[in-house]
């Protein structure tokens, strides 16, 4: 889903940067502004989004979130002769979320087809072969190591696709040529461990399959020791959110995705057009943050507004059509209690009539990537000053 949205963003995005308040003015024009109140808003969970490409892998349970991770490794180029002496998976961990202690982590080795762009369902990940685990003490190197049976690695390296010479050949045992490490933390724990993923900046922190072997590079070579460090070709976490969407809040979130939609009452602007020509110069959506929710989130990124093209979200938000235009993402200042999003282009469309006003969808730019939650007050906030508002600056011209 995320990949599709990214394609839409590249193909039909609308420039929506700062616009001078005097645009459209003239000798007879007057600059005015109106503040529009939210007419409707809702927050809802995204059924499933891709989670490949994150800088982290999450394993465990906390704050109604449960996650496990998978990493995929392709076979290294085979030498002339190789004897596997030992092998292990290595992963770096970087803290976590929740009040619990570091839980027991189970690793299982499996061979099955999957991709980051098409996440497997929970029940589609095989249990696989259990692996032995060694955990370095906290404050030490911060790595997990899983010992892999040499028989598994030897069998994997020996397997080859003979379809290159026999087009009728089909492998009925192995349906993929990559090993997958599945990481789970069984049992009730209050900890989501955060591991480094393949997109980690430091090469040493990425998931690796490390093979220690005795090899000969040709028939005449003397056997020598060699180490193969195979980086993860794909990795992702599969997160489920069992918590309720907070009532009367405008929420966006990555990991287990949450989106919001909001629609404003533009009656004040339409009333102005009864007697004048109105040229919209700039429109700003202002949201006020509710810090009482999601105080466990350690960082924020940005919100991605999306101009809706139907009113389906008012009745069926989890299956609504999000076709339309994307706007420029707005960075979230974690130190600020307000977020201001420039939405000039959709407001200019809405100003033409009620039939074009379908509202906005708000996404986290890390929706399918890292764990994130940001909550803002909705239209029923007890303090009217904390409710969403849309401020439209326009030039008023005589008809």
Which domains are present in the chain?
2-48+248-398 (2.60.120), 65-160+174-240 (no CATH)
pLDDT of residue 9: 34
pLDDT of residue 57: 93
- 391 within 8 A of 33, measured Cβ to Cβ: yes
pLDDT digits (tens, 9 = 90+) for 36-94: 999 999 998 887 676 777 889 999 999 989 999 999 998 887 777 889 999 989 899 88
- For residues 352 and 356, what is the distance between their CA atoms, to the nearest angstrom? 7
pLDDT of residue 28: 62
pLDDT of residue 323: 62
pLDDT of residue 8: 30
pTM of the model: 0.82
pLDDT of residue 208: 93
pLDDT of residue 372: 87
Cβ-based neighbour number of residue 331 at 10 Å: 11
pLDDT of residue 164: 46
Give helix then strand counts, H and E, for the chain: 4, 22
Cβ-based neighbour number of residue 166 at 10 Å: 9
pLDDT of residue 317: 75
Helix (H, G, I), strand (E, B) or coil at 122: helix
pLDDT of residue 14: 44
- Residue segments in the chain with a per-residue pLDDT below the cut of 50: 1-15, 17-25, 137-140, 161-165, 169-173
């Amino acid at each position: 889903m995320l990949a599709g949205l990214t394609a839409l963003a590249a193909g039909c995005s609308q420039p929506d940067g700062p616009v001078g308040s005097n645009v459209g003015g003239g000798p007879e024009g007057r600059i005015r502004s109106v503040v529009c109140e939210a007419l409707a808003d809702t927050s809802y969970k995204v059924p499933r989004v891709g989670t490949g490409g994150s800088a982290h892998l999450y394993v465990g349970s906390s704050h109604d979130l449960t996650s496990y991770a998978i990493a995929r490794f392709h076979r290294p180029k085979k030498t002339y002769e190789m004897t596997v002496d030992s092998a292990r998976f290595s992963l770096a961990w970087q803290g976590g979320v929740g009040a619990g202690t570091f839980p027991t982590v189970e690793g299982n080795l499996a061979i099955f087809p999957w991709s980051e762009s098409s996440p497997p369902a929970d029940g589609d990940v095989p249990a696989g072969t259990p692996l032995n685990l060694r955990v370095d003490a906290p404050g030490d190197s911060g790595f997990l190591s899983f010992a892999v049976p040499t028989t598994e690695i030897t069998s994997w390296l020996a397997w080859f696709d003979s379809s290159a010479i026999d087009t009728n050949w089909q492998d009925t045992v192995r349906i993929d040529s990559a090993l997958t490490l599945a990481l789970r933390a069984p049992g009730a724990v209050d900890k989501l461990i955060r591991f480094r993923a393949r997109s980690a900046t430091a090469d040493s922190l990425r998931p690796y399959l490390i093979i220690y072997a005795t090899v000969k590079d040709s028939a005449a070579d003397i056997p020598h020791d060699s180490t193969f460090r195979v980086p993860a070709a794909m990795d992702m976490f599969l997160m489920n959110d069992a918590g309720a969407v907070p009532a009367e809040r405008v929420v966006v979130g990555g990991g287990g995705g949450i989106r919001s939609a909001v629609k404003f009452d533009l009656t004040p602007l339409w009333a102005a057009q009864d007697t004048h020509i109105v040229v919209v110069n700039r429109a700003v959506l202002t949201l006020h943050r509710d810090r009482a929710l999601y105080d466990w989130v350690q960082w924020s990124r940005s919100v991605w507004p999306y101009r809706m093209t139907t009113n389906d979200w008012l009745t069926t938000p989890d299956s609504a059509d999000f076709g339309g235009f994307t706007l420029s993402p707005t960075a979230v200042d974690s130190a600020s209690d307000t977020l201001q999003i420039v939405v000039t282009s959709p407001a200019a469309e809405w100003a033409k009539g009620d039939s074009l006003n379908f509202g906005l969808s708000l996404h986290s730019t890390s929706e399918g990537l890292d764990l994130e939650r940001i909550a803002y007050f909705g239209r029923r906030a007890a303090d009217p000053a904390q409710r969403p508002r849309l401020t439209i600056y326009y030039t008023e011209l005589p008809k």
